Amino acid sequence: MRYTHLLFDADGTLYDFKAAEVYAITKLFEELGVPNTASMMEVYSIINKTLWKEFEDGCVTIEALKTERFRRFFTHLGMDKDPIAAGVRYLDFLASSNHMFDWTVEILERLRTDGYRISLITNGIARVQRGRLAVTGTAGLFDDIIISEEIGVQKPDPSFFDFVSAEDRKNYLIIGDSLSSDIAGGIAAGIDTLWYNDGTQKANSVQPTYQLDSMDKLPDFLRAI
């Protein structure tokens, strides 16, 4: 077994954040009386993605992100709504979402049976991630859960991976869907990476060690390398 410890990203890799986001924003729009249209969803999604990239780059804090995405959203649409209250309620809805990919539990259980140590590594907001782990009953599938908000540093900063000892890094593999966060962070930290790309993302100059288009293939892929 080439690797002994697998470091999984959460959103977009094991948990279906797109579905969770639609669920949470739909519930919020209903509560606020905001029209729930495809164009409204698209506006929010663009603003949210922009802010998460700013967070990865260290331009905004996680606390600012929670409110700023709704401040920008309401300002863009000319709505007189409270972004702080909206941010709190949105996190409530996200934390109660149970959206996973169909294969998530099966794959993790197979990998644990194969003898891998498994960690969850996420930039997600702590109470959201802890809430979703509880709702889905998946917390027990991980040996470690590392959340950027709880340790005070986020991917791709290589210091996010300081819990991995230098001499053991050759035994670790980072598995994630984000080139800018998971893969770039792993490269900077000297850890091998596997980019999960289901065909919806475009490659760039960031070069993962491996690439896989389906998580169903992961256990056999790991046995073969």
Of 181, 225, 186, which is closest to residue 49 (Cα–Cα)? 181
- Active-site residue identified among 9, 16, 182, 192: 9
- Residue 82 among the catalytic residues: no
Distance CA 194, CA 191 (A): 10
Token representation of residue 136: 């889905």
In the set 11, 16, 182, 192, the catalytic residue is 11
**C-beta separation of 117 from 123 below 8 A:** no
Annotation says 9 is catalytic: yes
Determine the residue type at 172: Y
The encoded tokens of residue 175 equal 């598995």
Distance CA 190, CA 28 (A): 41
**Burial class for 199, CB neighbours closer than 10 Å (0-12, 13-18, 19+):** exposed
Q: Which residues carry out catalysis? A: 9, 11
